[in-house]
């Protein structure tokens, strides 16, 4: 299988997952915004010219959440996903999708307004609104993590998704000083060798 990856992007999730499962993979690495991601050849892999994308034989799949779900279903051998009849399973689904539905939209706004846009086009109002909403999204995670080590029973694909979003939020300066459960959760995740290896892949 081949993973198309750019450092410090959502594709870290795919590498983290493969590392946790000890699955072999081929790696194609791009700098963020690299022009080769806009070529007709790469647009056949990912029609938006982004990462991650996963090639598995004749199948190509993009969108990090879809990749996590696909790989765990096909290659996870029952690990990192609660059984469908387990009371943890609905919780797993909720937090598997929470990252992209609630946290990352705010992260995207902050990244665009503070990193990608030239200074004269930046809008501080957008940043303040997104930061306020991000705080609310992380508060929900903090409440849920009370007396829990991970989001849905044991370590799972939900932690790959929403855990990564929490880490990125912290790295972007989200205030987690009043969210001890999120802070401790981030520390637990960052200590995992599989994630450390994914972050170090340049």
* pLDDT (0 to 100) of residue 33: 81
* pLDDT (0 to 100) of residue 95: 98
CB of 26 closer than 8 Å to CB of 3: yes
* pLDDT (0 to 100) of residue 6: 96
Enter the CATH code of domain 88-198: 1.20.1050.10
* pLDDT (0 to 100) of residue 32: 84
Q: For the chain, where do the domains classified as CATH 3.40.30.10 start and end?
A: 2-79
In the numeric block, which tokens belong to residue 162? 């929403």
Rounded CA-CA distance 125/163 in Å is 27
* pLDDT (0 to 100) of residue 160: 98
* Residues of the chain under the 70 pLDDT cut: none
* pLDDT (0 to 100) of residue 146: 98
Task: Identify the architecture of domain 2-79 in CATH.
Answer: 3-Layer(aba) Sandwich (3.40)
Q: For the chain, where do the domains classified as CATH 1.20.1050.10 start and end?
A: 88-198
Q: Provide CB contacts within 8 A for 200, sequence distance 6+.
A: none
CB of 49 closer than 8 Å to CB of 70: no
């Amino acid at each position: 299988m081949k993973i198309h990856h750019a450092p410090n992007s959502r594709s870290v999730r795919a590498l983290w997952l493969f590392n946790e499962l000890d699955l072999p993979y081929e790696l194609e690495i791009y700098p963020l915004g690299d022009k080769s991601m806009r070529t007709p050849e790469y647009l056949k892999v990912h029609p938006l010219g982004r990462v991650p994308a996963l090639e598995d034989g004749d199948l190509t799949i993009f969108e990090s959440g879809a990749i996590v779900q696909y790989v765990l279903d096909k290659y996870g051998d029952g690990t990192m996903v609660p059984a469908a009849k387990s009371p943890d399973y609905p919780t797993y689904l909720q937090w598997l999708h929470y990252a992209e539905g609630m946290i990352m939209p705010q992260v995207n706004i902050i990244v665009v307004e503070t990193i990608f846009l030239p200074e004269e086009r930046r809008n501080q109002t957008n940043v303040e609104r997104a930061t306020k909403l991000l705080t609310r999204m992380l508060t929900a995670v903090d409440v849920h993590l009370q007396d829990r080590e991970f989001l849905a029973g044991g370590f799972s694909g939900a932690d790959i998704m929403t855990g990564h979003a929490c880490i990125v939020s912290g790295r972007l300066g989200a205030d987690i000083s009043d969210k001890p459960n999120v802070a401790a959760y981030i520390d637990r995740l960052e200590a995992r060798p599989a994630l450390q290896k994914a972050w170090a892949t340049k």
